[in-house]
Chains A and B, each alone.
Chain A
Amino acid sequence: MLRIELEFGGGLESLTGGNKVVPVEFSEEQLTLDRVIDYIRTNLIKEKHEYFVQGEYVRPGILVLINDVDWELEGKTRYVVQQGDRITFISTLHGG
């Protein structure tokens, strides 16, 4: 059983009913981050999917972080999720 923590910020928490932290469990022994994103898209988010994805991909303007590090440095969707990982999705802000 793979237990990880999903985190949503910068307004994205509105897609998960205001929950900023969502613990999830996967029965797979091994899975990559694209599967986690697919899980969020199909199971976690009930409406307004266009605020999270464009097609299958995380929409522009969302920063994805694996244990506080930009996913670009970790292989993006090919990253192999580890027990206890914290995956953060943050929408960039523009107000001032």
Chain B
Amino acid sequence: MTTSDKLDVTRYSRQILLPQFGKKSQQQLLSKKILIIGAGGLGCPAALYLAGAGVGSLGIVDNDTVEISNLHRQIAHKESLEGKPKAESLREAIRSLNSSVQVQVILQRLTQYNVLEVIADYDIVLDCTDNVLTRYVINDACAVSRKPLVSGAAIGWDGQITVYCASNDCPCYRCIFPEPPPPHCVGSCDANGVLGPIPGIIGCLQALESIKLAACIEQAQVLIGRLLVWDGLTSKCRVFQLRTRNPNCVACGVESRKDFCDYDYASFIGCSPSVCVIPSEKRLSPREAKERIAQSNGDSSEYFCLDVRPSVQYELCHIEGFHNIPLDQLASRVTEIQQQVNQGKRILVICRRGNASQQAVALLSSWNIHPVYDIFGGIEEWRKQCDPSLPYY
């Protein structure tokens, strides 16, 4: 036995001791390549546990950079690496945990054009991403390549995990969700909040299912055709039985596509990345808006300033003089705004990033409330142009 063999046995002894695992499974793990897409709340714990377990090679895909507001859940990153690429930060964390693991860093955003090439080298893919479009892109590529996809998701207090495309009967994401949710029904951790341990739990479960698959553990039952749902608020865990693979599925069915390069994902998802729905004469930059408010000064202000973010965000921070009416309450509280207009005021609308405020302006205009202006770029842009003391969240 060589020295390195001895070292490996020592390092992995506690899992090799398991009768279902043993040295055979350890050797299987060492020979496997696993791709982790997303180095965030799910990707951090998943990558660390897979590295600790001794998977031969890990790929990390992420084009984002470390932010302080990520660190409560993305615990592989460090304060000192703020602004650095997350994929590189995660590689450092993996190296300091287990330097024998090979790590490939892919700093690109995953698209329908590069996804097949990116996943080609790997045995198993982990979806640790945070948006609907990328989830379909990854699923379609795994379905076409018949590669097991360990899919996790978390938001608020809730987490979900299942494994797609892992056997002949196993459904893919499109078999379960042939149509995407309407854009207004899609939440995100950035907008809705999330408690750190929730993606932590789901990311750990993604590592566990991946180990069971990669190590070819005979007695193991993988979450194939089953969806595990974790409710962190009530600490209840449920496992649901899912439908089987749909033979007519466009991604994994009998006559499925060979690739999705020419597929129109933007229309399928029903959104474009930067929404612009109202004419430019109804839009002001934060600087212009601030000047106009200052010129009309104080109580006799010509403007009624409206902040349409959810109340939780308004409480987190807001600009002095702005009144909070969340977008989803606009219809029920429109008389409050109408009263301001009757008193001769102009309406200024702001939100977090400039999308919801445009919807609000479009709605108010459709109800014949004039004049009304959108402050483009939202609180985020206001912070950059007018008030750096506003927190970034």
Contacts and interface: CB of A to CB of B under 8 A. Distances in A.
Contacts, number: 107
B187 A95 contact: yes
B194 A9 contact: no
A1 interface: no
Contacts of B130: 94-96
A16 B189 CA distance: 22
A28 interface: no
A75 interface: no
Given A9-B231, A95-B130, A88 B240 contact: yes
Interface string B212-223: 000000000000
B187 A11 contact: yes
Contact of B153 (A9, A59, A65, A96): A96
A20 B240 contact: no
Contacts of B132: 94
B241 A73 contact: yes
A88 B238 CA distance: 11
B374 to A, nearest CB: 23
Contact of A93 (B38, B159, B180): B159
Interface residues of B, number: 47
A68 B241 contact: yes
Q: Name which of A48, A50, A60, A94 has the most chain B CB atoms within 10 A of its CB.
A: A94
A54 interface: yes
Nearest to A94: B132
Nearest to A7: B238
Contact of A90 (B180, B182, B229, B234): B229
A70 B186 contact: no
Given A63-B176, A95-B192, A96-B152, A70 B43 contact: no
A91 B158 CA distance: 10
A61 interface: yes
A20 B180 contact: no
B188 A95 contact: yes
B42 A50 contact: no
A70 B231 contact: no
A48 to B, nearest CB: 7
A96 B37 CA distance: 11
18 contacts: A9-B229, A48-B328, A50-B184, A50-B185, A59-B182, A60-B177, A60-B182, A63-B176, A63-B227, A68-B240, A88-B240, A92-B160, A93-B187, A95-B153, A95-B192, A95-B194, A96-B42, A96-B43
Interface of B: 38, 40-43, 127-132, 135, 152-156, 158-160, 176-182, 184-189, 192, 194, 199, 227, 229, 231, 234, 238-243, 328
Closest 5 pairs between A and B when the two form their complex, measured CB to CB = A61-B181, A95-B155, A60-B179, A93-B153, A72-B243
Given A10-B229, A95-B130, 6 more contacts: A11-B155, A51-B184, A68-B240, A69-B240, A92-B153, A96-B129
